[in-house]
């Protein structure tokens, strides 16, 4: 496919690897933010092809992984009511809540449905006027415009039986939180290409300046990621710390203004809890007062549900790039994608699942 | 989750509130919302995420980046291969 195949060209990837090896003279720790990028790195083994001096650590950019336990518990509570149809993106179904997951609730008779696009939820609502349809609206800035548009459209078309249980997170405040942590080892960031497609990269300039850290907006194919690594290595070796855009075929400085407008119309910035990390100030989106009739958490009075995270799972450290999934004693033993202890083992973009899918044999040989 | 896939717009429709179109991804054609890419038209490539186009692919930027990379690859191809194994 055009705009995909050429960025999987092994010859170009080898040339980039050689160029990186020539340019890097001191150790560096680079973090890719987005789970999609983590998945590509593991799938193509990029971390193992890079010189030993370049260490890749994986960031908190898997929305399924950072959706707080409370939100899952709220969804479970809703899904067990016979008058409610709970609609979700597929990855959310196996995410463990405090006591169960959506798959199990579905197996016990809960009406849980999977959609590819939020607009399909509106169709379900139109077809079931006697039921209440709740959409589990999660995601980063990439997904927020589509979710906002579904809520806007529900109001426009007066679909009264539709609401959204929202858990939206924002990348720049998370980078700020990571950088201010005393344990932080990150010397450069690969910023998430599709988040920046929507938001642009103006906000990242302040981060690069405040923390003297180079940031390269990167794509999702192996050649994209290697080029982003090369750009970061060149900046680090020359002592610069600015924002560069490797993914210019999709990202421009201002981002997608029409998409941003849809988000601003429906959502406002709020403090947000991240699973495994805790509350990060001003790092999420909630539904504005004007759209309160579509706010599932408000309609169903779910605000009081809280939850404690299990102690055995080390996903908090994995999501901050402090430890690798293979450091966890439960990895590939008590915790697998079929029976996950923590969310990063659920989504194919979660760091633990990516290691499980592409690296577990290595662990077994070593172990 | 933040995956977005490039596809080619085959046709565009204005549907009152919404703007939508048929978009081809390899051998598959799907209905895609084009509300956020008012500048994109039939024949253009768009990046699609959860059924919505979030950008029109910038062909000149894509060409510029790719030419730079292809030059690098071509140069590498002239050198003796030191590692016959490639990732896939």
Question: Where are the domains positioned within chain B?
Answer: 5-78
Q: Which of B86, B83, B61 is nearest to A8 (CA)?
A: B86
Q: Which of A268, A284, A311 is the last residue of a domain?
A: A311
A189 shares a domain with A75: yes
How much is the pLDDT for A134?
Answer: 98
Question: Which chain B residue shows the shortest CA-CA distance from A358?
Answer: B88
Q: How far is A351 from chain B (nearest CA, A)?
A: 13
Q: Which of A278, A294, A311 is the last residue of a domain?
A: A311
| Res. B82 pLDDT band, cuts 50 70 90 | very low
Mean per-residue pLDDT over chain A, rounded: 93
A232 with A264, same domain? Answer: yes
Q: Which one has a higher pLDDT value, B27 or B72?
A: B27
Q: Does A186 touch chain B (CB under 8 A)?
A: no
Q: Are residues A270 and A173 in the same domain?
A: yes
> Which residues in chain A are closer than 8 Å to B44, comparing Cβ atoms?
none
> What pLDDT digit, counting tens, does each position of A40-68 carry?
999 999 999 999 999 999 998 888 889 99
User: What is the pLDDT confidence band of residue A365, given thresholds at 50, 70 and 90?
Assistant: very low
Q: Do both A210 and A319 map to the same domain?
A: no
pLDDT at B76: 63
> Using CB atoms, which residue from A14, A195, A222 is nearest to B2?
A195
Model confidence at B86: pLDDT above 70:
no
At A366, the pLDDT band (50, 70, 90 cuts) reads very low
Q: Which residues of A touch B25 (CB under 8 A)?
A: 1
Q: Judging by beta carbons within 10 Å of its beta carbon (0-12, 13-18, 19+), is residue A327 exposed, middle or buried?
A: exposed
Last residue of a domain, one of A270, A291, A311: A311
Closest CA to A299 of A143, A135, A158, A145: A135
Helix or strand (DSSP H, E) at A87 = strand A84-89
| Inter-chain CB proximity B36 and A262 less than 8 Å | yes
Write out the residue range of the structural domain in which residue A307 sits. Answer: 1-311
Q: Is the pTM of this model over 0.90?
A: yes
Convert A242-293 into a string of H (helix), E (strand) and C (coil): CEEECCCCCCCCCCCHHHHHHHHHHEEEEEEEECCCEEEEEEEEEECHHHHH
Query: To the nearest whole percent, how much of chain A has pLDDT over 90?
Result: 78
Contacts of A332 (CB under 8 A, 6+ apart): A356, A360, A363, A364
- CATH code for the domain of A158: 3.40.50.11740
The verdict on a CB contact (< 8 Å) between A249 and B33 is no
Tally the domains of chain A. 2
Give the mean pLDDT of A162-189.
95
* pLDDT above 50 (res A317): yes
What pLDDT score does A367 carry?
37
Whether residue B32 has pLDDT greater than 90: yes
Closest CA to B23 of B39, B12, B8, B33: B8
Residue contacts between A and B (CB atoms, under 8 Å): 155
Q: Are residues A141 and A183 located together in one domain of the fold?
A: yes
pLDDT given for residue B67 in this prediction = 86
The minimal CB distance from A256 to the residues B25, B45, B54 is found for B54
- What is B5-78's CATH number? 2.30.30.140
Identify whether residues A270 and A298 lie together within a single domain.
yes
| Residue A186 shares a structural domain with residue A201 | yes
Residue B83: per-residue pLDDT: 43
Highest mean pLDDT range out of A2-11, A193-202, B63-72?
A193-202
Q: Is A146 within 8 Å of B33 when comparing Cβ atoms?
A: yes
């Amino acid at each position: 496919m055009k705009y995909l195949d050429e960025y999987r060209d092994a010859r170009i990837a080898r040339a980039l690897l050689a160029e990186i090896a020539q340019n890097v003279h001191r150790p560096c720790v680079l973090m890719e933010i987005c789970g999609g990028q983590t998945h590509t790195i593991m799938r193509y083994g990029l971390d193992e092809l890079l010189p030993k001096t370049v260490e890749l650590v994986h960031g908190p950019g898997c929305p399924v992984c950072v959706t707080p336990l409370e939100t899952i518990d709220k969804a479970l509570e809703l899904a067990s009511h016979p008058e409610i149809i709970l609609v979700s993106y597929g990855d959310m179904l196996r995410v463990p809540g405090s006591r169960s997951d959506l798959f199990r609730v579905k197996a016990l008779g809960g009406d849980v449905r999977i959609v590819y696009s939020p607009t399909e939820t509106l169709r379900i609502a139109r077809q079931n006027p006697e039921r209440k349809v709740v959409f589990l609206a999660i995601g980063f800035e990439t997904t927020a415009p589509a979710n906002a548009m579904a809520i806007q459209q529900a109001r426009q078309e007066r679909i009264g039986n539709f609401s959204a249980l929202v858990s939206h997170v924002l990348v720049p405040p998370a980078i700020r939180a990571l950088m201010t942590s005393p344990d932080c080892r990150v010397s450069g960031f690969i910023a998430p290409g599709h988040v920046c497609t929507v938001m642009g990269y103006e906000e990242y300039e302040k981060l690069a300046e405040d923390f003297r850290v180079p940031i390269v907006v990167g794509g999702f194919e192996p050649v994209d990621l290697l080029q982003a690594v090369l750009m970061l290595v060149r900046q680090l070796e020359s002592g610069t710390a600015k924002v560069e855009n490797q993914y210019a075929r999709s990202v421009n400085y201002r981002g997608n203004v029409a998409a941003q407008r849809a988000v601003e119309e429906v959502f406002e910035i709020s403090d947000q809890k991240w699973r495994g990390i805790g509350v990060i100030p001003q790092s999420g989106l909630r539904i504005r007062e004007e759209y309160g009739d579509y706010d599932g958490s408000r309609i169903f009075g779910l605000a009081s549900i809280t939850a404690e995270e299990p102690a055995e799972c080390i996903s908090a450290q994995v999501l901050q790039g402090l430890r690798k999934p293979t450091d966890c004693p439960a990895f590939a033993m008590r915790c697998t994608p079929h029976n996950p202890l923590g969310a990063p083992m659920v989504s194919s973009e979660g760091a633990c699942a990516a290691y499980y899918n592409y690296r577990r044999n290595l662990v077994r040989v070593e172990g | 989750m933040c995956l977005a896939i490039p596809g080619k717009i085959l046709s565009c429709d204005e549907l009152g509130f919404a703007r939508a179109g048929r978009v081809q991804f390899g051998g598959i054609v799907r209905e895609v919302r084009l509300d956020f890419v008012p500048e994109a038209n039939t024949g253009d490539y768009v990046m699609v995420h959860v059924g919505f186009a979030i950008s029109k692919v910038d062909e000149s930027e894509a060409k510029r980046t790719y030419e730079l990379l292809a030059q690098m690859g071509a140069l590498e191809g002239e050198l003796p291969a030191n590692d016959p194994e490639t990732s896939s």
